[in-house]
Structure 1
Amino acid sequence: MTAEPGGAPTPPGDDGVTIIGGGQPDVVDLADLDRAAHLLATVADRLDIAARLLTVATQAAPSALLTPEGKAAARALQAARSGAAAPARVADDVLDLARRVRGAVITYDHAESAARSALRGVVALDGSLLGTFPVLAVQRFVQVGVAAAVAANVARVTTRTAMALLAPFGRADDVLRWEQRQLRHWAPRATTWALADRRSELLVLGLASGFLGRDGLLVPPSQRVRLAARRISGLLPDAGPTAVVARAGAPQLPVPRDVAGVIANTGLSYREGTETGMRGTPDGTISVQRLHRPDGTVSWVVEIPGTQNAGVTGDSPMDNGTNPRLVGDVPDDMTDAVLDAMHLAGIRSDEPVLLAGHSQGGMVAANVASIAAGTYAIAAVVTAGSPDDVGAVRVPSSVEVLHLRHPQDVVPQASGGPILTGPNVREMRVDPALNGAAPVTSPLDAHAMGRYVTSAEAIEVHADDPQLRDFVAAVDTVLGPEGTTATTRQFVATRDPDLVRLDPVTGLPRGDRLSPVGGPTPLPALSPAAR
C-alpha cells in the first residue's frame, strides 16, 4: 500500500500532534516501512544481547584483570559497556527509531489509501442511486426507521421490565436515573465518534451525490460536493450588495508574537456575545493589523472570523449563504470584502502579509491568497477548523499554508474530499485531550474558537519539525522580531442599506455606484466601492 504524495507525515507523539504535508513530496511503501521497523527492532534485540555478553566477559576472569594487560582490557570493556557507542545505549536509540517508523506507518493510514478511495466510490455511487431513484431512498428511509423503532421498543420493554422487578423494593426510579446518566455520558461520545476523523467526509459526499442524482454520475466523486454547493448557492435568494465600512474607535488588539497570538486575535474579532468576541464588536468584523518593526519596515496580519449568522440573507455576509459559495468555488462577497479591507488599510504590494481565519474565515483567507498573491506579498495563510482544500488548492507555491484542525471537528470535512497537501501546504492535527486540554465532548466543542487558540500553541512547540520550518519562517517574516509594535484597524462587512450607500473613506453618501453580490473585484487597484 502506498501513501498519497505530500510529504512524509510526522508520527503522532504523546502530545497528540500529527503533521501531514509540507516539505518535499514523497511516496512511501507502507510494507517496506513496516519491514524496516521489524528489522530495527531485531537489531535492538541483538544489541541488547551484545551488552549482556560484555557484562559476562567483564565478570568471567577477574584474576586476569589484575595484570597490566588485564587492566587495559578492563578499561576497554568498560568503555564498550558505558561509552557513547555502548550497545545498550545504541539499542535504546534503535528501538526508539523502530517505534517512530511504526508511528509513521500508522500516520500514513490517514492518507487516501486504495481501500479508502474504493469506499468513497461506493458511497458516491450509493448516494447517486438514491438521488436518481426515489423509491430506493424511501426504502432506505423505511429500513432505518424500522430498525430505530425496534431498538427503541426493545429499550422501552427492558426499562419497564426492570422497573417492575425493582418496584417491590422501592427502587424503580433508580432505573430511570441510571438511563439518564448513561445517556448524558454516551450521547456526546457517540456523536463525536460518528462524526470524527473523516467519517463526516463520507456523509457529506453521500448527501451531495444524492442531491445531484443522476447528474452526479457524470462527475468524479472528488467534484460532487463542489458541484452540489454551486447548485445550492444558485438557489439562494439575492442577499443584496455588501459594503465595507471602517469601524470608528476600533480596539487595539495585542501584538501577535506567534501563530497562537494571531489565532487569538481572530477570536477577538468575533462579534460581542460570542465565546471569544470583544465587547462592542459588531457582526462582520475584519481585523487588519499593521506591524511596525524595529528596522522601520512594515508588515500586515489580516484576521477573519467565521460564520456568525445562521441565515442566508442577513445584514452580515458572514452567514450560511456565503458558505456554499465558498465550497462551490463561486464568487462570494466575503472574499471581496477582505480584499476591500486590505485596500482601505493601505497595504502596499511589497509589504509581507499573513492571512488567518477560523472556519468560514479560513476558506476566505485561502481564497484571498489564491486571488491576490500576485498583487500583495502574501507570505502565509493559517486556517483553524476550515475545510482543508477549499481555496488552498489554487494558492501559489510561494505562499506557505497551514491547516490547523481537531480530529473530532466535522467542519474541515465539509469539502467531502480527501486531504490535499503539498510542499507548501500542510495539515496539523491536534487532539486536545492528548495535548493537555479537556476531552472533546461534542462536534461543536471540537470546532470552538477557544479550543483552536489553545491548540495553536503546539505550532511553536513543533517549530523545528521539517514539515513546519518553511511555514514558521514565512510567518516570522511577517511578525518580526522583539520590539515590533502593532496598529489595529477594523472593517465591517455589512449589507445594512444605510451603510451600503456610505463611502468607506469619507463616510458620506456616495450615490448609486453598487454592483451585485459576488461581483468581480478589480485587481490590483481595488475600488473602495461596495460590491
Structure 2
Amino acid sequence: MAEVTPWGSGGPLRPLKPEPDGHFSVRGGVAGIAFQLEELDAGVRGLDGLAEDVTTVEIAAHRIWAELGQYQNDPPSSGVEALDATGEGWRAVAKVREELQDIGSQVQACLQEYEGAEQRTLSNLRLGTDSHKLWLPQFLDMLLGGFPNPYSPDLSRLLNRDSTEALTGNYPVLVALLGARPERVTEAIQMATATGMQGSGIPIVVRALAEGLAPHLKPRDVKAIGGPSTDVALDASPAGLLSRARSVDEDGRGTIEILRTGSGDHEAFVVIIPGTQPGDAGGPNPFDEAGIVEALGYGSEHTSAAIRSALQEAGAEAGAQVVAVGYSQGGIHAMNLSQDKAFLAEYDLKYVLTAGSPVGGIHPEPGISSLHLEHRQDWVPGSEGAINPDTRDRVTLTLENRVLTPSGEAPGLGPGHRLTNYEAGARAVSASSDPSLIASTGALAGVVGTGGAATATRFQLVRTPKPQESGRPGMPVRPVEQPDIRPPGGR
C-alpha cells in the first residue's frame, strides 16, 4: 500500500488509485471514488452542523457575558471573576467554531476539486479526445505482435472495451450516423447538450435504425410459455449463478430460467436471462439480434412484461424479492428491470448481476444493488459508449488477464466475451478482499443466501409473428408450432 502524506504535515493531499486485486480492477461500491466523495460531502454537512451548534453556544455565552458586564467595576468578590471566566469561555467557543468552519471549507474545496477532475475525465472520454490514446497503442501492439491467426482470429488487441467505448461514446460520430434522419440528429444534439456529452447516444441510433432502415427489428409483444419444474442444488454465488446462465444460454431456444429459493417469509426468485442467440432477426426468438434493439433502444418493454408473467406463473407473489442475472444481451434486459416502473411496482428487485453487458446508460432505482463483470478484451460492454456509474450500490469488476480463443473453437465475439472466462472472474470475486466486492456479494447473499435446495422452472419466450406472417386475406394462417420445453440443464 502506498504511503499517504498525513494531514497537517505540510505536504499536499493526493487521491490514491486503489491497488489492483490480482488480475482484475474494481470500480464503484463502498470503496469507490463516488462513495468517498459522498462521504466527504456528508462530512462537510456534519462539520457545518457542528459549527451551527457551536454558534448557538457561542451566542448564549456572549449573552451571559454581556449581562454580567454591569459588574465589571465592582469588587472581585461581587462576580468579576465569573465575568472574566465567561468571557474566556465565549472566546474559546468562538475559536472552536472558526476552526470547524475552516476545516469544513477545506473539505468542501477538496470535494469540488475531486468532482471537477472526475467530470473532466468523463467529458474527455465522451468527447473522444482520448480515443487516439486508446486506439494507437492497440494498433502498434497489433503491428509488433503480428496479425491474428486467420483460423482463430483475435482482434481484441485492436477492438476492446476501451476503444469501442471511446468510439461509440463520440457524439460527432453518432450524429454522422444519423445524418439521414434530421429529427434524430436534433435529438442526439439535445441529449449531448443536456448531459455534457456524458450519456449514451446509442439508443437514439438504435431507434432510428428500427424505425427507418430495418423496421423488422422493431420490438413486438413477447409471451412466456412455462415448462416443467425441477428441484436443483443451487450455488448462489456469482460464479454459481453465471454457471446457470451458461446452461440457459447454451439451450439456445429463447428460454429463461426462474429459480425459487428459500421458503415461507424468506423466499426469493432468481431470473436467469441468456445472451444473444443466432437465428432469423426479428423472428420468434426474442433473444436474437432484434432483441438487442429492444434492450438498448426500448428499455426491454416487451421482454420485461414476459419476465413478469413468468414470475407470476412460477409462484412469485406481489412484493417478492427478485435477483436478475444476465449475460451479454441478457444483462441489458436484467438491468432494464431495475428502471421498469411496472416491474418494480409488482416485485422487489434487490440485485442485478451482469457479465459482458453494455449497461452504462441504465440507471436503476435507489436501493437496487448491481455487480457488473467486464473484460478489458471484450468490446461488447463498451458498445453503448457509456461508463458504468460509480455509486455506492453499483460495482464494476474489470478482468485484466490476457485470454485467447481455444484452438479449434469458433471465435464468436472474441475471447474476452466468453462466458467461461466470466465464470472464472466471478470465482475471484468471492475470494477477493476488496471492500466493494465484499459488500456487493454480501448484498446478494442477503437475498438468496449461499445456496441449497431450489426449484428451477424454464420458460420459453416467444415473440409474436411479424404482421406479414399473420396470413393474407383468403389464405389460411400457418399454425405456430408448440415450443419444445426441456427440463433445466437439458440439451
TM-score (norm 1): 0.57
In the other structure, the counterpart of 1:246 is 226
In the other structure, the counterpart of 2:422 is 452
**Which segments of 5 or more consecutive residues in structure 2 lack a partner in the other structure?**
1-14, 37-113, 133-142, 180-184, 466-491
Give me the whole-angstrom Cα distance separating, in 2, the residues matched to 1:338 and 1:455: 27
In the other structure, the counterpart of 1:417 is 386
- 1:461 pairs with one of 431, 446, 456: 431
8 Å contact kept, 1:306–1:318: yes
Give me the whole-angstrom Cα distance separating, in 1, the residues matched to 2:20 and 2:31: 19
Give me the whole-angstrom Cα distance separating, in 2, the residues matched to 1:358 and 1:242: 19
Alignment length, in residue pairs? Answer: 343
Query: What RMSD, in angstroms, separates the aligned Cα atoms of the two structures?
Result: 3.9
8 Å contact kept, 1:359–1:411: yes
- 1:229 pairs with one of 206, 214, 223: 206
How far the C-alpha of 1:442 sits from its partner, in A, is 8.1
- 1:12 pairs with one of 20, 33, 36: 20
Give me the whole-angstrom Cα distance separating, in 2, the residues matched to 1:183 and 1:437: 15
In the other structure, the counterpart of 1:291 is 261
- 1:397 pairs with one of 335, 345, 366: 366
8 Å contact kept, 2:169–2:200: no
- 1:309 pairs with one of 245, 254, 278: 278
Q: Which residue identity is paired with 1:363?
A: I
Give me the whole-angstrom Cα distance separating, in 1, the residues matched to 2:235 and 2:205: 38
8 Å contact kept, 2:35–2:392: no
| Structure-to-structure mapping, 1:381-530, within 5 angstroms | 381-391=352-362, 393=363, 395-433=364-402, 443-462=413-432, 464-481=433-450, 484-495=452-463
SS at the partner of 2:166? helix
SS at the partner of 1:342? helix
Give me the whole-angstrom Cα distance separating, in 2, the residues matched to 1:25 and 1:374: 30
Q: Which residue identity is paired with 1:382?
A: L
In the other structure, the counterpart of 2:28 is 21
- 1:208 pairs with one of 174, 187, 210: 174
SS at the partner of 1:446? helix
Does residue 262 of structure 1 match 2:216?
no
Distance change >3 Å, CA 437–CA 411, structure 1 → 2: closer
In the other structure, the counterpart of 2:160 is 196
SS at the partner of 1:265? helix
SS at the partner of 1:321? helix
Over residues 365-410 of structure 1, what are the superposed CA-to-partner deviations in whole Å (9 max), with x where a residue is unaligned? 111122233432222111011113243x1x1221111111111111
Give me the whole-angstrom Cα distance separating, in 2, the residues matched to 1:212 and 1:182: 36
| Structure-to-structure mapping, 1:44-443, within 5 angstroms | 114=120, 117-118=123-124, 120-121=126-127, 183-185=147-149, 191-206=155-170, 207-213=173-179, 214-215=185-186, 216-220=188-192, 221=197, 222-235=199-212, 236-237=215-216, 240-247=220-227, 249=228, 252-270=231-249, 277=250, 281=251, 283-292=253-262, 297-309=266-278, 311-330=280-299, 332-371=301-340, 372-391=343-362, 393=363, 395-433=364-402, 443=413
Give me the whole-angstrom Cα distance separating, in 1, the residues matched to 2:311 and 2:347: 9
Over residues 323-363 of structure 1, what are the superposed CA-to-partner deviations in whole Å (9 max), with x where a residue is unaligned? 12322244532222212211221212343221100011111
Distance change >3 Å, CA 266–CA 8, structure 1 → 2: farther
**Which segments of 5 or more consecutive residues in structure 1 lack a partner in the other structure?**
1-6, 30-107, 127-154, 156-180, 271-276, 498-531
How far the C-alpha of 1:112 sits from its partner, in A, is 5.8
Give me the whole-angstrom Cα distance separating, in 2, the residues matched to 1:189 and 1:314: 29
8 Å contact kept, 2:258–2:311: yes
* Bigger mean CA offset, 359-368 vs 20-29: 20-29
Distance change >3 Å, CA 335–CA 467, structure 1 → 2: same
Q: Which residue identity is paired with 1:474?
A: A
Q: Which residue identity is paired with 1:232?
A: L
